[in-house]
Homo-oligomer: A and B are copies of this chain.
């Protein structure tokens, strides 16, 4: 094999596919990036068996061929080369020479035959959304998925639910639910699939996030495929039935609070200073009265208290929350002013806008006991 590409194109390609290189594995071949120049295009691929990423890079093929190179070593080499043309030459014993200007590296590759290719999957009728929308929906939901819940496999994924021209994405853990509703440009057949949060996180790192660039999403029974630019990401789906949460959304509430988001976020953030040195979780207590929210937290470190102006309808309420869960949701909401809905001190709080393009549900903490 002999190919020549620009250093910048190689770096871009390696950075893209590296997201599917496992950090720890017993199979050395999985730690490789496959360079396939056997079919008239230069295709880089990485595959950790959960997700696979392939991307086409620009370049010239002087001699077709295929080689697997250690991802970390190859990545570091191309990143440190001068920004000029890079020539990669491979002999029949997989000895690989990487040349750029006067720099000359010789490393040993592996046969591309041993590499696990990405499954070939029939693609039809893609759902099309902008890369901006894709990145936003990931940012606004994946924080909900915590490593702690790896035990419950269903909680490591997000529900993608399509009904006509609506896409609903749901992520949850044991204390909260995050929902994003998106209007699609076209209508599609109904579909439910659980996409691993890991795949979504990796995608959000490699898509451009531009509104004019598109992502095509294909669902099959076992896989989801995201296609954008010259890149394809394939992920297994999580098998099973997602949690039924419909009973939580009856629309009734007794208290509605309208508040400046930044004031609330900053104040809760300050309250967490009272947790600096203790492992014990203390709740932030919210006293919601006419025109005023009083936040307070006390721990053995000290006490914190702060008032914020609000608009309130309905009855007064005193309720406690894990401050982190409240902050996590507030951080990803773009609105300057938010609405929060409460029933009583034992029922979840709903933070949502009128259109319900986002709904964050947070379970309270029992403060009577505390």
Chain A positions near chain B (C-beta within 8 angstroms): 72-73, 76-77, 80-82, 102-108, 266-267, 269-270, 273, 276-277, 301-308
Check B76 against A302 for contact (C-beta < 8 Å). no
B73, A308: Cβ atoms closer than 8 Å:
no
**Can you name the residue of chain B whose Cβ is closest to the Cβ of A269?**
B80
Contact (A301, B107) CB under 8 Å given A273-B80, A276-B73: yes
Q: Are A102 and B273 in contact (CB under 8 A)?
A: no
Closest 7 A-B residue pairs measured CB to CB? A107-B302, A106-B303, A102-B307, A103-B306, A104-B305, A80-B270, A106-B302
A82 neighbours in B (Cβ, 8 Å): 266
Given contacts A104-B304, A105-B304, could you give 17 more A-B pairs where the C-beta distance is less than 8 Å?
Answer: A73-B273, A73-B277, A73-B301, A73-B302, A76-B276, A77-B270, A77-B273, A80-B269, A81-B270, A103-B270, A105-B270, A105-B273, A105-B302, A106-B302, A106-B303, A107-B302, A108-B302
Nearest CB in chain B to that of A101: its residue: B306
**A300: nearest residue on chain B (CB-CB)?**
B108
A–B Cβ pairs within 8 angstroms, 11 of them? A72-B276, A73-B273, A73-B277, A80-B269, A80-B270, A82-B266, A103-B304, A104-B304, A104-B306, A106-B302, A106-B304
Tell me if B306 and A102 are in contact (CB < 8 A).
yes
Task: Tell me how far the C-beta of A45 lies from the nearest C-beta in chain B, rounded to whole angstroms.
Answer: 22
Q: Once the chains bind, are A266 and B80 in contact (CB under 8 Å)?
A: yes
Docked pose: A306 CA to B77 CA in angstroms: 13
Determine how close the nearest CB of chain B comes to the CB of A72; give it in whole angstroms.
7
CA distance in complex: A105, B298 (Å): 10
Chain B residues with CB below 8 A from A76, complex form: 273, 276
Identical chains bound together, number = 2
Q: Tell me which residues across on chain B come within 8 A of A81, comparing CB atoms.
A: 270
Report B-chain residues with C-beta under 8 Å of the C-beta of A80: 266, 269-270, 273
Complex CA gap A103/B73 in Å reads 52
What is the CA–CA distance of A167 and B82 in the complex, to the nearest angstrom?
A: 40
Bound CA span A68–B253, Å: 48
Most central of A76, A81, A103, A266 by chain B CB within 10 Å: A103
Q: How far is the CA of A24 from the CA of B108 in the complex (A)?
A: 47
- Chain B: minimal CB distance from A79 (Å): 9
The chain B residue with its CB closest to the CB of A276 is B73
Cα of A73 to Cα of B302 in the assembled complex, Å: 10
Q: Which of A105, A107, A277 has the most CB of B within 10 A?
A: A105
**Complex CA–CA separation, A269 to B80 (angstroms):** 8
A82 to B265, CA, bound (A): 12
A260 to chain B, nearest CB (A): 12
Q: How far is the CA of A267 from the CA of B104 in the complex (A)?
A: 10
A296–B76 Cα distance when bound, in Å, is 17
The interface residues of chain B lying within 8 Å CB-to-CB of A273 are 73, 76-77, 80, 105
Question: How far, in whole Å, are A273 and B100 apart by their CA atoms in the complex?
Answer: 15
Q: Hey, which chain B residues are within 8 Å of A269, CB to CB? A: 80
Task: Kindly report which residue of chain B lies nearest to residue A308, judged by CB atoms.
Answer: B102
CB-nearest residue of chain B to A107: B302
Contacts of A107 in B (CB 8 A): 301-302
Return the chain B residue nearest A74 by Cβ: B273
A305 CA to B103 CA, complexed, in Å: 6
Roughly how many angstroms separate A171 CA and B82 CA in the complex, as a whole number? 33
Tell me which residues across on chain B come within 8 A of A306, comparing CB atoms. 102-104
